[in-house]
Structure formats: C-alpha cells, structure tokens
Amino acid sequence: MHSASQAVEVPGEPKNMTTSLIETASVTFQKFYPINQIKHHLCAFHFYADDMTRQVEAHHYCSHHNEEVSQCLIYDSPEPDAKLIGIEYIVSENLFMTLPDEEKPVWHSHEYEVKGGYLFMPGVAGPVERKELDHVCKTYGKTIHFWQVDKGHALPLGLPQIMMSLTGEAQLYQGLAKDVEKRYGVSFAKEKENREYMTGLMHGKHPLADAAGKGLKTVLRETDCWPENI
C-alpha cells in the first residue's frame, strides 16, 4: 500500500543559488501556457493493470482541451516536493466508442470510482465537486505510470506501466482508504450516497474496457529499429 507521505528522498545535490536564479529569471520572462491551463485537482486511486494489490494514491492536475478531451499530470501527493509519477488522458464515452477494439482494453472506466465516492476534488465544496464529477462519471481514462513509488523507488525505474481504476466493491485496501479519508476530511460512504443521482455511462461499461477483466503488463522486447521496407 502507498500513501502520500514519502519517506524516500530523491537522490542528488540540493539546488544551488545559480539554479534558483535561473528559475526566477525563467518565471519572469517565459510563458508556461500548457501548465497554466491546469484548472482541476482530482484525487483517486490507481492499481497496476497486472497486479491489483499494488494500489497508489494518485493526484491528478488536469486541463481541458474541450468538453470531450482532458489531460492530467499525476503526482503522488499535492505537496511541493511531490513526485511526477504518471499521466492520464480522459475522453468522453462517445470518443471512446470510436477507438479501435485493440485499443479499448488499455482504457478504464470512471463510473464506479465516481459513484462510489472514491474520486474527489480536495478542498472543493460538495455541490461544485459533484457538478464536475458528474461529467467525469461518463468518461474513460488511459493512464500510464512511470515511477513505482509503492516500491520505494527513489528514481523512476523500470518500464512505464498501464494503470487501472476501481471497478467494484472490496477492491480498495481499507487502510489506504481510511488514511486518505482522515487526511482530507472526506467520507467515501457519505459521498456515495450524495452521488446516487448520477447516471454514468449511457451505454454501460464497455466489455473491452478495464483490460476486459484481465491483467495487462508492459514488456520490453528487441526489434529492428530500421524497417526493411525503407
């Protein structure tokens, strides 16, 4: 299990004065348009697509391309020293349905985790939060994690891996759930009641989504990097 508090520090020398001055100058003269488009902070739980026992707290910082496509940077906590552990792309049900069937298994549904109360917006009032999450409830996400913080890695080791989200009762470790509820002052059970009115996916969860109920793992293999037909 994994919580936001990280005992493992990232190796390396502390930032020196030169780096700090360059950062200050950069902020003054450069534009950060993509980052400045981030408007939402969502907290949820992910597990590795090949191992449901490896569950992590995931803080999503998201921006909208439009009403049907969003993109999120994922950190292991909301703190200043948080590790960037992954990314997630979110699409509407309509766009998901246009994806090739071989692509659909790497996308996960959001309906259960939203209606179950497990996905929330820290610090946002309930009525406002539920307005946004009623939209998220009808979407699918594609998530890749690069940094295996649950293993205590001080650096992003290993291959990027596909992640999945909660789809049923008794999947989330109670210790992890209670830890998050306590730190953020939320109740998953109470919020589940508050979200009973949400309708979710219009066509129901697609049978190929959520890895089609199977495990998925990224593996490395050698191949020709110069195609023969060139």
Half-sphere CA count of 76, side-chain side, radius 13 A: 27
Please give the Cα distance from 139 to 141 (Å, whole number).
7
Write the CA distances from 197 to 29, 61, 131, 137, 200, integer angstroms. 48, 26, 11, 11, 9
Give me the pLDDT at residue 6, please.
57
Nearest to 76 by CA among 141, 143, 148, 136: 148
Give me the pLDDT at residue 226, please.
80
Q: Are 105 and 206 within 8 A, CB to CB?
A: no
Please give the Cα distance from 119 to 43 (Å, whole number).
6
Give me the pLDDT at residue 12, please.
84
Tokens found for residue 44: 């949820």
Find the radius of gyration of the CA atoms of the chain. Answer: 19
> Over the stretch 29-42, which tens digit does the pLDDT of each residue have?
888 999 999 999 99
Residue burial 100-117, b: 16+ Cβ < 10 Å; e: rest = eeeebbbbbbbbbbbbbb
User: What is the DSSP code (8-state) at residue 143?
Assistant: E
Give me the pLDDT at residue 228, please.
74
pLDDT beneath 70, residues of the chain: 1-6, 230
